[in-house]
């Protein structure tokens, strides 16, 4: 059968022939208007949806797609996909956990280096004809704390420990006996034992606002924080006040609460580096991600188990009678 896939993602067009070669029919709807129009006009033809965490797929959209059977999320996060609605309609959900871990880890280290060594300000000064001798800390021998030791966290830890001679600690839902890094039982304890803190935890309710004023104060006035995960993990107002009052040394952020809107407070601060949620974007990661989507779709439509399923909540009682 030729399954029809609604593609809501805007960054993968170059790699969509991978799916077309596998026989899938694609409907591209990367803007909110195109998305609404495609669901309204072609809803009954759509068998699968390809989305990413921040774009999601909402309950009313799922209800408007009577033949939807599978939702594939590129990247690890799926925070705006309505898992309850998927469960209620018997829909399978997959993600791309781990595929872009190298790319995200590279970006995390690039942000950390740029932040600690003050690269953007040095670059701007030279372009203005200035020649400031800026004295900045080294990374070697420093203590790195990683919040969330999944595929991305592990990739960051390896780069930091093996490449930069840093000592690595982490906080995670559970202690991992398979790694040589030090476990801290709370985010505050992790921050207290860190010179630099990198957020690599998934988004969602389980991690919401794990980093607040208390954690930032534990990181301290010499401490730097990098977030390549989800903005929801940090209380944004607490981060802004800590930066403005120099209670921490600086922050580098790839993620924001209401993308693409970025708080003006961040833009006005010299001790902040901002990138537009691009950590996971590399040709290698994008190709790998789309290939994984292809494998999940092919497996699903040929009756095989999908490769990277997301666990869904139990269906609500009312829907059990309808199916």
Whole-angstrom CA distances from 172 to 15, 166, 206 are 34, 19, 11
Q: 230 an active-site residue?
A: yes
DSSP tag of 309? B
Q: Which of 10, 20, 244, 259 is catalytic?
A: 259
Whether the Cβ atoms of residue 260 and residue 64 lie closer than 8 Å to each other: no
Whether the Cβ atoms of residue 148 and residue 154 lie closer than 8 Å to each other: no
How many of the other CB atoms lie within 10 Å of CB of 30? 14
Whether the Cβ atoms of residue 197 and residue 222 lie closer than 8 Å to each other: no
Whole-angstrom CA distances from 223 to 39, 57, 99, 219, 246 are 47, 37, 30, 5, 10
Q: Which of 193, 230, 284, 291 is catalytic?
A: 230
Which of 70, 111, 139 minimizes the C-alpha distance to 306? Answer: 70
Q: 58 an active-site residue?
A: no
Residues in the chain: 323
Which of 147, 239, 149, 242 minimizes the C-alpha distance to 191? Answer: 147
Q: Cα separation of 310 and 86, whole Å?
A: 11
Q: Which of 277, 284, 321, 323 is catalytic?
A: 277
Q: 176 an active-site residue?
A: no
Q: Cα separation of 39 and 50, whole Å?
A: 13
The residues that are catalytic are 230, 259, 277
């Amino acid at each position: 059968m030729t399954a029809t896939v609604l593609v809501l993602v805007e960054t993968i067009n170059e790699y969509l022939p991978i799916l077309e070669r596998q026989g899938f029919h694609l409907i591209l709807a990367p803007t909110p208007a195109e998305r609404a129009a495609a669901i309204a006009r072609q809803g009954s033809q759509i068998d699968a949806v390809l989305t990413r965490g921040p774009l999601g797929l909402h309950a009313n959209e799922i209800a408007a797609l009577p033949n939807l059977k599978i939702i594939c999320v590129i990247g690890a996060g799926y925070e705006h996909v309505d898992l309850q609605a998927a469960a209620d309609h018997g829909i399978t959900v997959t993600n791309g956990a781990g595929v872009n871990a190298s790319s995200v880890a590279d970006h995390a280290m690039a942000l950390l280096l740029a932040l600690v060594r003050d690269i953007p300000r040095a670059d701007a000064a030279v372009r203005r004809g200035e020649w400031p001798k800026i004295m900045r800390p080294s990374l070697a021998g420093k203590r790195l704390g990683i919040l969330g030791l999944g595929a991305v966290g592990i990739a960051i830890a390896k780069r930091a420990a093996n490449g930069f001679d840093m000592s690595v600690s982490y906080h995670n839902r559970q202690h991992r006996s398979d790694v040589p890094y030090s476990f801290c039982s709370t985010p505050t304890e992790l921050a207290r034992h860190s010179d630099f803190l990198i957020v690599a935890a998934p988004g969602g309710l389980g991690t919401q606002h794990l980093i607040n004023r208390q954690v930032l104060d534990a990181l301290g006035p010499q401490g730097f924080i990098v977030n390549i995960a989800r903005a929801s993990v940090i209380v944004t107002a607490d981060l802004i006040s800590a930066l403005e009052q120099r209670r921490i040394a600086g922050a580098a952020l790839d993620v924001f609460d209401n993308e693409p809107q970025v708080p003006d407070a961040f833009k006005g601060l010299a001790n902040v580096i901002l990138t537009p949620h691009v950590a996971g974007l590399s040709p290698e990661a994008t190709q790998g991600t789309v290939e994984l989507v292809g494998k999940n779709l092919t497996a699903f439509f040929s009756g095989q188990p999908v490769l990277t399923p997301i666990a869904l909540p139990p269906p609500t009682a009312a829907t059990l009678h309808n199916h």
